[in-house]
Structure 1
């Protein structure tokens, strides 16, 4: 892991439980791996033994290295968006928030991953799981959008 990781520990409501968000910074140079140009999802076909292309996953996923970080998902409030517990997020702090974006937000001392709905007098942080309720953000809240999710790397 890169040396410039940061772990933010914060207290959440309810019985004084402690949670954490660990932020992983992408390494400037990535690892190049062989790239199979097309993998059939239908009928099987013989694959090439030696692909002639490679893929640098960091270069592919990270467009702004200075403002990009990785974060691992903890929880299931975004399953309706295909974001599950244990998935890895590629988050860019340089992207301006937009209507419907999925973002890591910091509200009143807690981190949360939600879809952002921007209204004239408030922001609504909307989960993608009906078991959770939206969070209404007003001027009375301490609120910061930390970064916009650009990619989700699935954990299987």
Structure 2
């Protein structure tokens, strides 16, 4: 299937919020702009990234079939089981007993799981035992060399 996933666990709904500083303003990725010298607020990343916690779990990605959408080997995926999967969503699905992460799509009028790396062929879903495990809502990967999440 080209990408393997490791289930890491569920969100701890009993953990107290962890609020981190959120700088005011935006960071430009083009031309530099002066930085703001104050904090706007505090941000709880769990509250910001996970809705609802009771239906959310984490997975670790393995493989290269989704690099075109920025999911790389070892990334941490946040998956929501409460969302209805729709065409275009990145989903976690069991296909014939094997977990995979792909974009849900159609070719013609038939359902497929579609990789975002052209080296991988679409996976037809007709005639296969399929179970949706959830919709990927966020992807977290480290940009610091040697730093892992």
Normalising by the smaller structure, the TM-score range is 0.7 to 0.9
1:80-99 alignment runs, 5 A limit = 80-99=68-87
TM-score, normalising length: structure 2 = 0.81
Equivalences for 1:42-53 in 2 at 5 Å? 42-48=31-37, 51-53=39-41
Q: What is the match of residue 57 of structure 2?
A: 69
Compute the RMSD of aligned alpha carbons.
2.2
Give TM-score, length-normalised by structure 1: 0.78
Deviations 1:19-58 (A, max 9, x none): 662232122233110111224323242442x525100000
SS for the counterpart of 2:47 is helix
Q: Give, in whole Å, the separation in 1 of the partners of 2:12 and 2:78.
A: 13
Name stretches of at least 5 consecutive residues in structure 2 with no aligned partner: 144-149
Structure 1 unmatched runs, 5+: 1-11, 13-18
Say how many residue pairs are matched: 137
Q: What do residues 74-93 of structure 1 show as CA deviations (whole Å, max 9, x unaligned)? A: 11100111111122111100
The Cα offsets for residues 131-156 of structure 1, whole Å up to 9 and x where unpaired, read as: 11111111x31111100011111222
| 3-state SS of paired residue (2:46) | helix
Larger RCO (CA within 8 A; separation ≥ 6): 2
